[in-house]
Structure 1
Amino acid sequence: MISPTSLAPAARLSDVHVAFDGVDVVCGVDLRVAPEELAAIAGPNGAGKSTLLEVLAGTRSPRRGQRSVSGAVAFVPQRAAIPPRLPVTVRDVVAVGVWGRLGPWRRVDGEARAAVARSLSRMEIADLASSPYASLSGGQQQRTLLAQGLARQADLLLLDEPTTGLDAESSLRIRSVLREEADRGVAVVCVSHDGALLGEADRVVRLEAGRVVALGSGTGLPYSGS
């Protein structure tokens, strides 16, 4: 079996610094994420975890350092900023995931519809496809957002606290799907405080005050630097 860390990286951060109001909240971080790897970013509140994830996603630019990503990226936030009165269904939300693959002005084709259907099925919410997104429970909404990320068919899947505050069934389904994605070759990175998810990760990167202070392996896989 080939260790994920022996593969060419799907994402790499080199000496990344991010500042808010002139103060660095991420300080000189080097990070390498490989295909087939489930990596978790852990640490106390305010450590810079979500900010680092945003840099990986390309939604926040560092003041210094470099970001290199190969392939498509899907970013699953902890909560979506969808107004509760917006009349969108679960299927509508998941279908957003295929837009990046289709490009502008292209209609959703049969392949894209099949990707949406597969993603709904994998997250066990196919029966909710026609339901208003706003009517769902917190766990169902988080499953919907992950289904959107799956529909993107990305090479790098990023998630911010995907199991926080969820029921046991939803948490287990999400953890199972993340493991499946890594096993099929996707590089998966999630910010998490969930002990069960951290225990299942191939690697845990711990941040404190914006710096990497520890690297560990949830399943014994080695870490091979940046």
Structure 2
Amino acid sequence: MSSPPVFADRLASLDDVHVAFDGVDVVCGVDVQFVRGELAVIAGPNGAGKSTLLEVLAGTRMPRRGIRSVDGSVAFVPQRAAIPPRLPVTVRDVVSVGVWGRLGLWRRLDASARASVSQSLSRLEISDLAASPYASLSGGQQQRALLAHGLARRADVLLLDEPTTGLDAESGVRIRSVLRAEADRGAAVVCVSHDSALLEAADRIVRVEAGRVVG
């Protein structure tokens, strides 16, 4: 584990954040910061509010109270993407969406963007699946495609929900290596995970219990 983060390099933070479902707070007064060059893992029991915190950081869920602050671009990689199985998209299409945040929606991919897509596919070792229908992939292959989508954005803040769940050991090693490389690039990498190997590789563990950060 590294030294405590220097908050002058803070890229994302939550300040006194509360989130309620059906009028009941499931996240209660969370204060947490994530910094440049850090691989952080949010850990804790099922139902503790970990994924909810990640969604607030991503901007896909609004808190009942509190402040979300993000300095820079964000890429959010959910555990599973709700892509309709009949939608005729290839793996390359899914990854290519990741660069739209840099180029603007529906803009034609230039040479740099196409290179970023190809590099992201290669880093996750799914280049041979680029032309395959996304719906035809196994769960583990789909997860790697979603992570490649996040890498293609080259975001300042990379958020991932259980990125190694359902993967074989070799794929887990590959993903942990990629996440470390993203942190070394200068991104703030934040994962929700129960993976003991990813917890061991983290610079910092943020423990959540009953909707509160406890360590």
Shorter-chain TM-score: what band? Answer: over 0.9
User: Could you tell me which residue of structure 2 aligns to residue 193 of structure 1?
Assistant: 194
For residues 105 and 131 of structure 2, what CA distance do their matches in structure 1 show?
25
| Pairing 1:59-208 to 2, within 5 Å after superposition | 59-208=60-209
Is the 8 Å Cα contact of residues 73 and 157 (structure 2) preserved in structure 1?
A: yes
Alpha-carbon deviation of 1:8? 2.0
Is the 8 Å Cα contact of residues 100 and 106 (structure 2) preserved in structure 1?
A: no
For residues 98 and 192 of structure 1, what CA distance do their matches in structure 2 show?
25
Partner-residue secondary structure (3-state), 1:158: strand
Letter in 1 for 2:85: P
Identity rate of aligned residues, in percent? 78
Q: May I ask how many residue pairs the two structures share in their alignment?
A: 214
Any idea what the Cα deviations from partners look like across 1:163-182, whole Å, max 9, x if unmatched? 11211111111111001100
Is the 8 Å Cα contact of residues 4 and 36 (structure 1) preserved in structure 2?
A: no
Runs (4 or more) in structure 1 with deviation over 6 Å come to none
User: What are the ranges of 5 or more consecutive residues in structure 2 without an aligned counterpart?
Assistant: none
Alpha-carbon deviation of 1:34? 0.2
Partner-residue secondary structure (3-state), 1:33: strand
Partner-residue secondary structure (3-state), 2:179: helix
Any idea what the Cα deviations from partners look like across 1:197-219, whole Å, max 9, x if unmatched? 011000001111100112xxxxx
Partner-residue secondary structure (3-state), 1:32: strand
For residues 19 and 107 of structure 2, what CA distance do their matches in structure 1 show?
36
Alpha-carbon deviation of 1:7? 4.0
Letter in 1 for 2:63: P
Decide whether aligned partners of structure 1 residues 206 and 155 sit closer, same or farther in structure 2, where only a CA change above 3 A counts: same
Query: Aligned Cα RMSD in Å?
Result: 1.5
| Pairing 1:15-94 to 2, within 5 Å after superposition | 15-94=16-95
Alpha-carbon deviation of 1:98? 0.7
For residues 106 and 85 of structure 2, what CA distance do their matches in structure 1 show?
27
Of the structure 1 ranges 3-12 and 79-88, higher mean CA displacement relative to structure 2 is found in 3-12
For residues 29 and 4 of structure 2, what CA distance do their matches in structure 1 show?
26
For residues 104 and 78 of structure 1, what CA distance do their matches in structure 2 show?
23
For residues 9 and 28 of structure 1, what CA distance do their matches in structure 2 show?
19
Alpha-carbon deviation of 1:73? 0.1
Alpha-carbon deviation of 1:2? 9.3
Alpha-carbon deviation of 1:85? 1.9
For residues 207 and 4 of structure 1, what CA distance do their matches in structure 2 show?
18
Alpha-carbon deviation of 1:108? 1.2
Partner-residue secondary structure (3-state), 1:10: strand
Partner-residue secondary structure (3-state), 2:135: helix
For residues 111 and 67 of structure 1, what CA distance do their matches in structure 2 show?
32
Partner-residue secondary structure (3-state), 2:10: coil
Alpha-carbon deviation of 1:106? 2.1
Decide whether aligned partners of structure 1 residues 195 and 2 sit closer, same or farther in structure 2, where only a CA change above 3 A counts: closer
